[in-house]
Chains A and B, each alone.
Chain A
Amino acid sequence: MTSTGRLDRDGMARLVAADIPRGAFVNLGIGLPTTVANHLSPEGGVTLHTENGMLGMGPEAHGDEVDPDLTNAGKVPVTELPGASYFHHADSFAMMRGGHLDICVLGAYQVSGAGDLANWHTGKPGDIPAVGGAMDLALGAKQTFVMMNLLARDGSPKLVPECTYPLTALGCVSRVYTDLAVFLVEPGRVVVRDVFGTTFTELESLVDLPLVDGT
């Protein structure tokens, strides 16, 4: 797939949603990944898991629907869909760690060409680290997708030969959705599946990794 312009956040979320197979059990990370839910249709039969103990999570709650006992991983009030279930934290993480979730979608500071993920801590002195469920999710789901802008604010690529930020997990990422391209992280190689508002050749100059053209 190619497109004339780079994707905005909504466009990235739409693309990820379109790639989630029918009937999948999915966990969406805090932040940008959460917005993937806006593009999942009820007909797709995708079931959302939230780490704080629920399958069958519905959209964000508003007005009278708000229930302080029903929130998502970002502590935002949400709703329950018919067929939802609740379970305690050890069961919720056993569900992840035991490999029962099909896909998780996470944000990232950096992803390496080997699929290593850095998304929980900047490592800067004075920054307070908070890991939450990121390490469990990244390793536990059958497939880990990352959503991020390809370039950091300073223009440096976030897809790197080796992560310089503290690692979340080794070799866990299988796909990276960015504003400029979708990358498939395969054993020994990184394939560019789609480009948006750029070309494969331009990407090669932006990213310090050997890339395979799969567009």
Chain B
Amino acid sequence: MTLTMAGDPLEAVAGIEDGSTILVGGFGAAGEPVDLIDALLHSGAKDLTLVSNNAGGGDGGIALLVKERRIRKVVCSFPRQFNSWHFDAAYRAGELALELVPQGNLAERIRAAGAGIGAFYTPTGYGTMLAEGKETREIDGRGHVLEYPIRGDVALVRAHLADELGNLVYRKTARNFGPIMATAAARTIVQVDDILPVGALDPETIVTPCIYVDVVVRVDRHDKVPSDSAGGGQ
């Protein structure tokens, strides 16, 4: 499918329907596609299922979607943080469902969705309350739990650079869930710091090949990165 270059984040997230399952990249603030999330908030989409490592911190990004009760269910590994007051309030009020998933299972279930794997057995969670009600099997003398893929209608991802085809490179630990989420959604929307001409990215260093990317939008960074590594180029 042809890549769409969106003029701004609102245009990038246009058409996300109520009730969608949204995969959102980031580990805390690193790699969180804040401008896409803000645009999603403004778009008014509601009854969303959010799949992300965290459930929002502070008063920006995912936390605002939670605060405004746009999210019906959160699938994540680590909702509780020192600044997760919006999640805590919504959860305690019973206005938000939580599916707590061990982080490695979360990552692997997303990867499995993108790789066309029907389900997989893993020892993680075996014998714990997070495996209650799930199928188990002993493999090589060790208890395993059956886990199913997590697919998204939409993935919101933040990368460092895109080329005009939608090939992506990331920066440092902001890569985190981005590459796997990009493979696991029907529509992958990416916020980048800069867009370069085709051929400007070394093919050996491309992390997400363009086949996974549907929409790219360039947004200037608002945060401060050390001067030796910020901005365009590699």
Interface residues of A (CB under 8 A from B): 50-54, 64-71, 75, 80, 86-90, 92-94, 96-97, 121, 126, 128-136, 139-140, 166-170
Determine if B30 and A64 form an interchain contact, defined as CB atoms under 8 angstroms apart. Answer: no
In the complex where A126-B92, A135-B124 touch, is A52 in contact with B110 (Cβ < 8 A)? no
Given contacts A52-B30, A68-B223, A69-B171, contact A89 B102 (CB under 8 A): no
- Whether, in the assembled complex, B174 has its beta carbon less than 8 Å from a beta carbon of chain A, the answer is yes
Complex-state Cα separation, A145 to B30, whole angstroms: 28
Contact partner, A170, options B127, B160, B171, Cβ 8 Å? B127
Name the residue on A nearest B122 (C-beta): A97
With a cutoff of 8 Å between Cβ atoms, the chain B residues found around residue A54 in the complex are 172-173
Query: Which residue of A65, A87, A130, A170 is within 8 Å of B100 (Cβ)?
Result: A130
Which of B8-16, B37-45, B72-80 has 4 or more CB atoms under 8 Å from chain A? B72-80
Bound Cα distance A104, B187 (Å):
37
Q: B174 near A136 (CB under 8 angstroms)?
A: no
A-side contacts of B122, CB under 8 Å:
97
State A130–B223 Cα separation when bound (angstroms). Answer: 28
B225 CB–A CB distance under 8 Å: yes
Tell me which residues across on chain A come within 8 A of B225, comparing CB atoms. Answer: 67-69
Q: Contact between B125 and A90 (Cβ–Cβ < 8 Å)?
A: no
- What are 8 A-B contacts defined by CB distance under 8 Å? A53-B175, A68-B30, A69-B225, A70-B30, A90-B111, A92-B107, A136-B104, A166-B128
CA distance A49 to B219 in the complex (A): 31
